[in-house]
Structure 1
């Protein structure tokens, strides 16, 4: 999965995640639906998405999405709790391993394969442990619990850590999270409203993704330019 890019996979993942400012999650019960939802998110501007290992047929879904989109849309596997699962994700074309918390042996395996790993954390201690083990980025969950001001506090201690709040992110608070130091925002219900999907179809997913990207791009205009 190198395409025509010159960056390493880790560098490319960081670049793509930061460029859009979003990591939308897909949670479905039918593996055959993943391509359509992934396409809807891609059409809205997403370049990195996450699927969760707690749903049926997810490995086949990862393989299908990876094969269909290649480098254009990178697939992260969420809720990876053990090295065996992590290895299966990599073998099926997954580009990123995501832990809900710091899982040492999973981070070790991902780094052995030079695959980016996003480790879940909340406290400063957990963020530190994730980075010490070699996490590429850190997902702060639940993001809404501490809110944007908590993100500011974490960035004061860890200015060089890429933080992604997840859970409870809305169009109303996404910009503030970015202004307070988040490099991107994440979530499932954040981007997939099944009530709207039932009424409007998958165009509602595309529109929601685009809405968040526009909000985040506008928020970034107020940030200082770092050479």
Structure 2
């Protein structure tokens, strides 16, 4: 089941790579570089030109190795489009019950964006398995730790502003996993065709998660 596979992937590796604003012709090389570095889940955001064809291409060429998802999904229509294109999971910056319902009807994993305890509980009542704390960098690891005081049953992935310098602090605060964008998918490296740098960044994030989890 797709939902279980995504949850298991986050349990094992802790990282979803976020691809935003990348030329469509480079997406498969990016995915291959990330996979070589140990990342097994990738999301293409819906505000990336050509995102549907990118999701289709990744699902076709990398779907047996990586979990392919969509991000910045703002409406039920958009959710259906990305699922039809092959997305196994759907992330959003907000909590939209209609999007969650549609994703669940398609038996995929919905990861809505939340900030407050009320939003987390609303998501929980909608049957959401994992929520996205956004913007995590602005809120900080202490905010996550405080949230998890009364809500320690919630699986929360910080997104936005997470880097190698603060990822351990977020894990110590109880992060379930992470969505990592430009800190991982380096646009300069992509522009220069330097996919080895992306692989090395992927290895660094996977190792940082492993070490931090081992110390908790």
TM-score where L is the length of structure 2: 0.95
Q: Would you say 1:25 and 2:18 are equivalent positions?
A: yes
Equivalent residue runs for 1:141-160 within 5 Å: 141-160=134-153
CA contact (8 A) 1:28 1:34 kept: no
Q: Which runs of 5+ in 2 are unaligned?
A: none
Report the secondary structure of 1:150's partner residue: helix
Deviation at 1:30, TM superposition (A): 2.0
Deviation readout 1:53-96 (Å, 9 max, x if unpaired): 01111111101101111242011101111111111111111100
For 2:215, what is the secondary structure of its paired residue? coil
Q: Distance in 2 between matches of 1:100 and 1:47?
A: 22
Higher relative contact order (CA 8 A, sep 6+): 2
CA shift, 1:197, in A, is 4.5
Q: Tell me how far 1:126 sits from its aligned partner.
A: 1.5
Alpha-carbon deviation of 1:210?
0.7
CA distance in 2, matches of 1:21, 1:46: 9
Question: How many residues matched?
Answer: 216
Aligned pairs (5 A) from 1:1-227: 8-198=1-191, 201-223=194-216
Runs of 4+ deviating beyond 6 Å: none
Where 1:97 maps in the other structure, the secondary structure is strand
User: Tell me, what secondary structure is at the counterpart of 1:110?
Assistant: helix
Alignment check: 8 A CA contact 2:21 2:47 kept: no
Q: How far apart, in 1, do the equivalents of 2:10 and 2:164 lie?
A: 18
Alpha-carbon displacement from aligned partner over 1:147-181 (angstroms, at most 9, x marks no partner): 11111111112112111111111111001111110
RMSD: 1.4
C-alpha displacement of 1:131: 1.8
CA distance in 2, matches of 1:197, 1:207: 13
TM-score, normalised with respect to structure 1: 0.90
Contact 2:30 2:190 (8 Å CA) reproduced: no
Q: Any unmatched runs of 5+ in structure 1?
A: 1-7
- Contact 1:137–1:161, Cα closer than 8 Å, also in 2: yes
